[in-house]
Chains A and B, each alone.
Chain A
């Protein structure tokens, strides 16, 4: 199974400052079709998850442009350029490419 390891597991960030979350995969996530299917999801307290980023770096419609994804192969990063209060929650990376699909452990983002 593909193991996704996120770091850090928690982060306290000052409003307006950047935040970065890393997701490292135990195997390459390059699919046989040539695409890399790594997604990032946000889960606000008491809410279902919400997809932010798919295929490593593509923002879902309606997601603020302060969220960006990057990476390749086995190393991926979610960046929030300027953290806002509404960004508090848990962030997960997930790979929907290989079976079984797997999630990272989650990174809890708080405001300092």
Chain B
């Protein structure tokens, strides 16, 4: 069945880096744009990044620009989010989502906690 499984979260100190992964299965991964969306504890949803189906275009909000990098390996059906210079306010559940006129399929998320 169609599935997205995130991994790579954990506890990290401020200023350090972390790379999240999202393994896709059950659909033609290379045909879809993909998103990362995060949710701080008890808060709403925040869009973090988007990448085109062919890896040619990436998009970020100002809060992620320059620190986060979205990428993908279509041969491995995997999406990535490289996060550098992490701050306490990056603490959140990070979800990957497939795009089809909007984020139509979501993973269960991976938790990132930035704390000393």
Contacts beyond the supplied A37-B102, A51-B105: 19 A-B pairs with Cβ under 8 Å: A41-B103, A48-B109, A49-B45, A49-B103, A49-B106, A54-B101, A55-B102, A92-B45, A94-B103, A96-B99, A99-B50, A100-B47, A100-B61, A101-B35, A101-B47, A102-B47, A103-B44, A103-B45, A105-B44
Output the residue of A54, A90, A92 with the most chain B CB within 10 A.
A54
Q: Is B53 an interface residue (CB 8 A)?
A: no
Q: How distant is A67 from chain B, measured CB to nearest CB, in Å?
A: 15
- A binding-site residues for B, Cβ under 8 Å: 1, 35, 37, 39, 41, 43, 48-51, 54-55, 58, 60, 90, 92, 94, 96, 99-106
Contacts of B108 in A (CB 8 A): 48
Contacts of A35 in B (CB 8 A): 101
Tell me the bound Cα distance from A92 to B103 in angstroms. 12
Tell me the bound Cα distance from A43 to B97 in angstroms. 14
Tell me the bound Cα distance from A3 to B109 in angstroms. 25
Verify A51–B50 contact, CB threshold 8 A: no
Verify A48–B106 contact, CB threshold 8 A: yes
Q: Is B32 an interface residue (CB 8 A)?
A: no
Partner of A103, one of B47, B62, B95, B106: B47
Contacts of A92 in B (CB 8 A): 44-45
Q: How distant is B109 from chain A, measured CB to nearest CB, in Å?
A: 6
- Name which residue of chain A comes closest to B105, CB basis: A51
